[in-house]
A and B are shown apart, each in its own frame.
Chain A
Amino acid sequence: MGNHSDDARKTSSVVVTSHEEGKETFPNPGLPPHAPRLTDVDPHKAKSAERQVSLLFVISILGAILFWVAYFGIKIGGEYYDVMNPEPTNALRLQNLLLGLGIAFSMFGIGIGVVHWARTLMPDHEMVEYRHAVSAEADRAEAQEIVETIIAESGIKRRPLLRNTLIGSVILAPLTFVTFLRDLGPADPSVLKHTMWDKGVRLVRDPSGTPIKASDVTLGSAYHVLPENLSSLSHDQGYLNEKAKAVVLLMRLDPSDLKVSAGREDWNVDGIIAYSKVCTHVGCPIALYEQRTHHLLCPCHQSTFDAADECKVVFGPAGHALPQLPIAVDSEGYLVAQSDFHEPVGPAYWERGKHVKEMAGETK
C-alpha cells in the first residue's frame, strides 16, 4: 500500500485547526435513501414477524408460570448442607435455579419480543430534529436583570449589618447539627496503645482456649494464640475489639537462626517467639507462615515479615516490623506473657510515633 500515506506531511498546509475554518470539504450528502425492510414490502414476512413476537410473549408467560411452579411446587425445608441428608440442599439449589430461570425467561420474552417488534414492524425512518441553543443571550440578560432586581429589592447590599449577621447565623446554624457527630465515638487515641496482654497472662490456642506448654512447641511449628483472659470478656465488654488487637502468632525456630537485638535477649523462650498477628500495613490478620524461610505473609496485601529477623518487613507494603510479645515460662511450664507489647499493634496512625516513645518510657 501507499505512497499516499505520506500526504499528510506534504499537504499540511491544508490542515484545518480548530481556529482555521475554510478548508475545502465535501458537502454533506444528506440522509441516505431509506432501504425498506423485508417486513415493509412483504406482508407474509410482516405476519411471521408478528407471530415471532407473540411467541416470545408466550415464552415470557411460560417463564412466569415456571417461577410459580418452582416457588410453590418445590418442597424446601430441612437441614441444608448436611452430609447425611443432602436432599434439602439439592431441593434448595433446584428451586433457586428454577426461580431465577423463570424470572429470566419472563423478562427475556418481553424484552426480546418488544425489541423485535420495534425492529421489524415499527417504522424505521430516521427523523431529524433541530438543536437549539441551551439558552438565548436575550434570556440570559433578562435573567441577570431579574436576579439583580431581587438582590436590590432585598436590600442586602445596602444594609451591611443585616448581611453580616445573616452570614454569621447561616454559618453557625448548620454547625449545630455537625456537632451531633462528635459523639459518634470516643476521641482518645491512647486506647490504641494497649492490649489485654499483661505480665503473667497465659498464651492459649485459638480457638480452643487451651494453654500451651513450652515443651509442646516443637521446632518449626506455629500456633495462633490468644490471651487467656480474653475468654472472660463478654461480647458487650468488647470481646471482638480486644481480640482484634490481641491476636498473636507463636513460632519456634532454631535459636541459632534468630537475630536478637539488644534489650530483647530474654523475650523468647529457647527459640519460641511470639509476634502480633495484626499486619502493620492496614491490619489484616497475618495467617500464613512459611516454615522453611521463616517468612510470615499477609494474605491481604502480601506484606512479608522475616520471623528470624524480629519480623522486619522484607517485602510488600507494610511500613514497620510486627511488634514482639515478650514471653516466659510459668512455674507449671506454660507459656506466659512478660508484659504487654512495647509498641502499639496494627497499622500506623498519626499518634503512633508519640505512643511508641511514651510506651518506651513506661517500661523503663
Chain B
Amino acid sequence: MPPDAVASSRRSRVAHALAQNVGLELAIAMLVLSVAIYCAIYYAAQGLLPGGFELTTTVNNTMPLVLAAVAQTLVVLTRGIDLSVGGVIDLTNAIAAIGLGDSLAQMVAVSVAVLMVGAACGLLNGVLVAYGRLQPILVTLATLSIFQGVAIRVLPQPGGQVAEGYTAALANPSGPVSLLYAVLLALIWWGLRRTRLGIGIYAIGNDESAAEAHGIDARRTKILAYMLGGTFSAAAGLFLAANATAGDATTGNGYTLTSIVAVVLGGVSLFGGRGSAVGAMLGAFITTMIVNILFFAQIDPLYQAFYEGLFLVGAVLLAGGIGRLVRRS
C-alpha cells in the first residue's frame, strides 16, 4: 500500500463520488427545486399543500416515463439512441390491453409475455445496430414505424379493458404504491451497474474499440443493452395500460421524445458512457413537475409549450454550465 502521506493528498471517496456524479446531483437539485416551486404555487392557488391524491396521480402518470427513461438510458450509454421506445410502448400497451384478462395466472403470464415481446423488439434493434453496422438513429427510426404498424394491427381501435386488480397492482389509484417500483428500479440499476454487462455498457459507450481491446464483447453488450431497454419499454407499456385501464396503440408515441428529455435532464450524456439511469428517472419526475408548475402558474395555455421549451433549455444549459464548473475546480 502507498504511504499515508500520498493517500491523504487525494480526494476522499465521498469527494470523488460527488465530483463524478454531478449530473445526478443536479437532477436531484432540480427535482427538489421543482417540487418546492410546485408546492409553493399549489399553495398559492389552492390554499393548501398537495396531498395523497396529487402524489399518487403524479407517480402513476410518471411511471411509464420513468421506465422509458431507464430504457433510453441503457441505449444512450452505449452511445446510441433508441427512437423506437415509443413504438415498443405502443405495441406492448396494445397487447396488454387485449391480453391481460381477469385471472391472476393469465395476467402474470401475459405480463411476462409482453416483457419478452419488448426484449424481442430490443433484440431486433440490437442485432441491426451491432451486426448491420448501422446508425442507431436510423435503425430505431425504422423499427419505430414497424412497431407502430404492428401495434395498430394488434389493436386497431383503442379499447380493451384492464382488470381492476392489475391497475391496483401497478398503478394503484388510492395510494402512491408505484413509488415502490421506482425504488426497485433504482436497486436493479445499482446491481446492473456492478455486473459485467453494466460495466461493458459504460465501457463501449466511452470508447468501443478501446473496450474491445480489453476483452469486452461490444456486439454482445450492445445487443443485451437494447434487449434490456426493450424490456423496460415493455414494462412502461404495461404500466401505461394499468394506469389508463385500457389500451391505445398510439399513446406510446410521445415517450420517444420525452424519454430523451428525461435522460438529458437526468445528466446522462448523449455521447454515451456517462450518467446514471437513476438520474434519468429523476428527470422523468422533473418533466412531470414542469407540467404541474406550468398548470398551477396559470400561464396562458397558448404559451405553455413556449415556457416548457424555455425551462428545458434553461435546465440543460444550467446543468452543462455547473458540470463544467465543477470539473474545472
Q: Do A and B come from one complex?
A: no
Q: List B residues at the A interface (Cβ < 8 Å).
A: none
